[in-house]
Amino acid sequence: MLIGVDPGIKGALAFFYDDGRERVFDLPVRQKKTGGNEVDPCGLQIILRRNVPADEKGLVVMESSHAFMGSGEKRKGSMASQASLAATKAVIAAVCELSGMDIAYVTPQAWQAFFGIRKTDSEDTKDQSFRIARQLYPEIKLTKTSGRPDALLIGRYGQRTLT
């Protein structure tokens, strides 16, 4: 059992079963009392319990991007969005570890290079991930704006390189 994770509020979990099946779920979120959303740890635990057989120990392969703030024109994201992503990854990691699963981290550069994904003038990395995931998993409902394509490709990368 392998689980690919694209962390983030619009992230997803992709389950790869030993019998060849795949299932994808959006990460469960809840509204914070202070406004905005956060990953729902109880909802995440329910998804894991329902999809990982009790007698199996899953390997979670999660994207681990590092904050790059930059300055001026090169700035990517706000400090608040970077803090939110870090908190999301921490919640996912804690729930997975408490559920008895091992976690491996992979950089976006590693899994994207595996699939030949790189930003071009005609197609950004999100579009490429969507196109490749749709080709590999035509039976799974995917959208460009969700984390589902990336979660599937992160999981497939993990299958090919970590197992």
User: Could you list the pLDDT tens digit for every one of the 163 residues in the chain?
Assistant: 999 999 988 999 999 999 999 999 999 999 998 888 999 999 999 999 999 988 888 899 999 976 554 555 555 566 777 777 888 999 999 999 999 999 999 999 999 999 999 989 999 999 999 999 999 999 999 998 899 999 999 999 999 999 8
Domain ranges of the chain: 2-162
Q: Was domain 2-162 assigned CATH 3.20.20.80?
A: no
Measure the CA–CA gap between 7 and 66, rounded to whole angstroms.
12
- pLDDT score for 73: 56
Tokens standing for residue 136:
């590999």
> Could you tell me the maximum CA-CA distance found in the chain, to the nearest angstrom?
51
Measure the CA–CA gap between 127 and 106, rounded to whole angstroms.
20
Q: Are 119 and 112 in contact (CB under 8 A)?
A: no
DSSP three-state, residue 117: coil
| C-alpha distance from residue 65 to each of 20, 24, 155 (Å) | 28, 21, 16
Q: Within a 10 A sphere around the Cβ of 113, how many other Cβ atoms? A: 12
Q: Check: pTM over 0.75? Answer yes or no.
A: yes
The DSSP-derived string for 76-122 is -S-HHHHHHHHHHHHHHHHHHHHTT-EEEEE-HHHHHHHTT----SS
